[in-house]
Homo-oligomer: A and B are copies of this chain.
Amino acid sequence: MINPKIPKIWYGGDYNPEQWDKATMDEDMRMFPLAGIDVATINVFSWARSQRDEESYDFTWLDEIMDRLAAEGIKVCLATSTGAHPAWMAKKYPDVLRVDYEGRKRKFGGRHNSCPNSPTYRKYAPLMARKLAERYKDHPALVIWHISNEYGGYCYCDNCERQFRVWLQKRYETLEKLNTVWNTGFWGHTFYDWDEIVVPNVLSEEFDGNRTFFQGISLDYRRFQSDSLLECYRLERDEIKQVTPEIPVTTNLMGFYPELDYFEWAKHMDVVSWDNYPAIDTPVSFTAMSHNLMRGLKGGQPFMLMEQTPSVQNWSPYNSAKRPGVMRLWSYQAVAHGADTVMFFQLRRSIGACEKFHGALIEHAGHEHTRVFRECAELGSELQQLGDRILDARSRARVAILYDWENRWAIELSSGPTKQLNYVDEIHKYYAALYEQNIQTDVIGVEEDLDKYDVVIAPVLYMVKPGVDERVERFVASGGTFITTFFSGIVNEHDLVTLGGYPGKLRQVTGIWAEETDALLPEQQNHMVMKQDWGPLRGSYSCGILCDVIHAETAEVLAEYGTDFYQGTPVLTRNRFGKGQAYYVASSPDAGFLRGFMSNVCEEQGIKPLLDTPAGVEVVERAKDGTSLLFIMNHNAEAMAFDAGSANQTDLLTGRPVTGHVTIPARGVMILERPAADES
């Protein structure tokens, strides 16, 4: 349980009463209970409000809010307010201001605007955290710390440049080593002094955001900036932990956000929390996968849904309203995938500035007689009824997909072979094929223990970091099924190629040699022709983006290319290795192939769908104490029928038994409680 003070799914969100008058807060206090709100995230952006110069702190305004919330029985997720530095600080200590990718020194403005290596920021931000911890350590409302906000963005200032050199010295010790791993012999980049190294941006090695002349430099700079921001987080956390060691600490993450290596971050967080803002065209399976990634950051531990919009966003190109029922549906989707909180940005809409058109529990109309409020209130009521029945339940998956931020950075920085390749999309293609069959899939980092799984999928594992190949080999040797794809096993952790033939360190386990990689134009495709029927796989499937031209060495060939000069050469292989097997998928297949492929692989391992449902009806399971909670969610705009089976099961939301052929309403949700199946 995140904090036993709220022994249910938390329900609440961001709240900024300091932007309003007392009468308005009175109204809030009247309305929150109508919606079943029990937690408020406050003080997210109030640094300037609380501290007007180096010496003067004033928390009386915050005291009042904390006390009032406590009096109303609402708990507090207390932010440290360091997500935006004060204007006076920017003016007096310009080192807090970032230099951007174009090399421009920024002025005061926006948010997330502090240089992570600014001495001023590193002095005053932890100090603020300390002051807050000391002031509120015994406050009855306090249930969790929320450090800063949505960390992100890189800086390229002189302080970062100096600290980058220090970071490099620590990592490589000698310039000789650095010259080697960055391959500086190329294009005459030999460094003779640490101070010759400059930050890689538009003024030096990079262009277009993710393109670089020197992969090694750029890759290390991403590591360094992720570490620098993490260090800012840790400095605040350390101050807090000294004062309130027992209160959990988090910061709100952002799913597949590209810039930070969240697997590293999660090590320093008590509970993972994240902000879920699907775009209008985000596939529901992508949202599901994002939840699972967040869950995977700490080995399956339940996480917090820290933010979602109750209705509309303001920052999308076209901000459509969430259709009736969708807010509830997506809230349960989060819970189904492991969230133990449902929280909104925001509880009351602001009156001015750029987020005033972002939806809120309390809209500008200011009363409870809105569709949005009504839907929130209904959900609040349901969550109260559910009590702690879901809390702390865990998910069990026998299939895992590997995802790695350093691999992603390296792929995105690669010059060639194609700009069409999108690592996260490739991950999602495999995830979606499993999702559509209601097969539980974890999304895990490369350090995770593979032996918990029967099937491990590593799409485009371009970078094989030290030890990963050995662990994959051990996993397969002892019976596991491993799947990898084209453009895998190419480089080591420095983006230096593993010589001798791709896929390098994965060559033995896959039993193939990839001689060439051909890039297809966006409108081009090749075909995967099955050598013989295999379960639902028969005939031919299209594939594209990249085509590895491979030789089966110890592997057997399951499918071949259908066209071009490598027609008839292998595109899908299986290699028996010890007690297990490794598949190599030499191109990026269409969805039909992946559905059949995943079906076959799971079938082989005896992994069954949780339930057979029509398209758009998602089924996810959490379990605790011998009880299974089967979440059935209809993402369609129409009611759907399916066979719920004959188990002894009850819908927690209605209290009624559910068996046989049932109908789930449009955007409806069921939570079937039943005895958990035996685990093999």
Task: Write the residues of chain A forming the contact surface with B, with a CB cutoff of 8 angstroms.
Answer: 16, 18-19, 45-49, 52-53, 81, 83-88, 90-91, 102-111, 181-193, 195-200, 202-205, 212-216, 280, 311-321, 323-324, 349-358, 363-366, 370-372, 414-420, 494-497, 499-502, 513, 515-522, 549, 565
Contact = CB atoms under 8 A, between A and B. Distances in A.
Contact of A500 (B311, B312, B366, B501): B366
Contacts of A353: 182-183, 186-187, 213-216
A520 B318 CA distance: 6
B365 A500 contact: yes
Given A18-B185, A88-B193, A366-B499, 16 more contacts: A16-B185, A48-B184, A49-B190, A84-B189, A87-B191, A103-B104, A103-B107, A106-B204, A109-B198, A213-B353, A318-B417, A321-B517, A321-B519, A364-B501, A365-B499, A366-B500
Contacts of A417: 312, 314, 318-319, 357
A102 B203 CA distance: 11
A365 B87 contact: no
A562 B46 CA distance: 45
Interface SS majority for chain A: loop
Contacts of A317: 418-420
A351 B496 contact: yes
B497 A186 contact: no
Contacts of A419: 317-318
Contact of A321 (B197, B313, B518): B518
Nearest to A498: B364
10 contacts: A47-B188, A87-B197, A103-B104, A108-B196, A183-B353, A315-B416, A318-B521, A321-B516, A321-B549, A364-B501
Contacts of A192: 48, 52-53, 87-88
A110 B187 contact: yes
Given A183-B19, A318-B419, A321-B518, A494 B352 contact: yes
Contacts of A520: 318, 320
A499 B364 contact: yes
Give the interface centre of A53, A197, A364 by most chain B CB atoms within 10 Å.
Answer: A364
A418 B419 CA distance: 30
A417 B497 CA distance: 48
Nearest to A87: B196
A314 B415 CA distance: 6
A354 B187 CA distance: 10
A213 B497 contact: no
Contacts of A204: 106-110
A271 to B, nearest CB: 25
A357 B311 CA distance: 47
Contacts of A416: 312-316, 319, 357-358
User: Oligomeric state, in number of copies?
Assistant: 3
A212 B354 contact: yes
Contacts of A198: 107-109
A6 to B, nearest CB: 27
A75 to B, nearest CB: 23
A103 B110 CA distance: 16
B354 A87 contact: no
Contacts of A320: 518-521
Give the interface centre of A16, A87, A500 by most chain B CB atoms within 10 Å.
Answer: A87
A53 B190 CA distance: 12
A619 B633 CA distance: 61
A372 B518 CA distance: 13
Contacts of A318: 417-420, 519-522
A19 B199 CA distance: 24
A648 to B, nearest CB: 37
Contact of A515 (B86, B202, B370, B414): B370
Nearest to A182: B352
A587 to B, nearest CB: 14
A186 B45 contact: yes
Nearest to A49: B190
A471 to B, nearest CB: 24
B215 A106 contact: no
A311 B516 contact: yes
A195 B108 CA distance: 11
A364 B366 CA distance: 66
Nearest to A358: B416
Nearest to A359: B516
A58 B198 CA distance: 25
A592 to B, nearest CB: 24
8 nearest interchain CB pairs? A183-B352, A109-B204, A314-B416, A357-B416, A87-B196, A19-B185, A48-B190, A109-B205
A20 B546 CA distance: 29
B519 A319 contact: yes
Nearest to A317: B419
A181 to B, nearest CB: 8
A45 B321 contact: no
Given A314-B415, A357-B414, A416-B315, A352 B187 contact: no
Contacts of A352: 181-183, 186, 215-216, 494-497
A182 B109 CA distance: 13
B351 A499 contact: yes
A16 B184 CA distance: 12
B48 A188 contact: yes
Contacts of A420: 317-318
Contacts of A499: 351, 364-366
A372 B516 contact: yes
Contacts of A52: 190, 192
A569 to B, nearest CB: 11
Contacts of A195: 91
Given A187-B110, A312-B416, A357-B416, A351 B196 contact: no
A46 B200 CA distance: 21
